[in-house]
Amino acid sequence: MLWVITSYKTAYNTSRGIETINMLFKGQLYHLLKSSAVNIKYFIERQFNLPTPTYEF
């Protein structure tokens, strides 16, 4: 039964990701239209729950 839950969650995240990226490319995310590339990067990190990398100079 656990594989059903995991499979559903993976399918949901995949479809959510595809729709988000399509909306981003079409310009349908109006609050990001005039934003900088850094803001778009932060939006994608938050949307997909990605860790923000730490940069060492």
| Residue 15 counted as domain residue | yes
| Residue 26 counted as domain residue | yes
| Residue 13 counted as domain residue | yes
Give this prediction's pTM.
Answer: 0.57
| Residue 37 counted as domain residue | yes
pLDDT of residue 6: 67
pLDDT of residue 2: 53
pLDDT of residue 12: 80
pLDDT of residue 15: 85
* Number of separate domains in the chain: 1
pLDDT of residue 21: 84
pLDDT of residue 46: 85
Domain that holds residue 34: 2-47
CA–CA distance, 15 with 46 (Å, rounded to integer): 16
| Residue 22 counted as domain residue | yes
* DSSP string covering 5-31: HHHHHHHHHHHHHHHHHHHHHHT--GG
Walk along the chain (57 residues) in steps of 10 and give the mean pLDDT of each run. 65 82 82 76 82 74
